[in-house]
Structure 1
């Protein structure tokens, strides 16, 4: 994971307030994607625990 990209996005966000809507949409997509991946990983681990 590249740690510079969120900082770069933050700089872009600060430098142009007109991109606020796009930035918020991006954050929402990122949040829901992360949640979906995380929940599927947890579900997979639960299934493995039940088998073993």
Structure 2
């Protein structure tokens, strides 16, 4: 039997909605270090997100 590697969680909530940077090691919401856009927390609605 082989084991599958990789992360078992989804990191999509940590992706900047404007530039696509993966924002790590900060508490969200936070400004994106690349473009300055706000990366919302998982509980906040994202622009363009269907509800």
TM-score by length of 2: 0.21
Higher helix content, 1 or 2: 1
Q: Considering only CA atoms, is the larger Rg found in Structure 1 or Structure 2?
A: 1
What's the TM-score once normalised by structure 1's chain length? Answer: 0.21
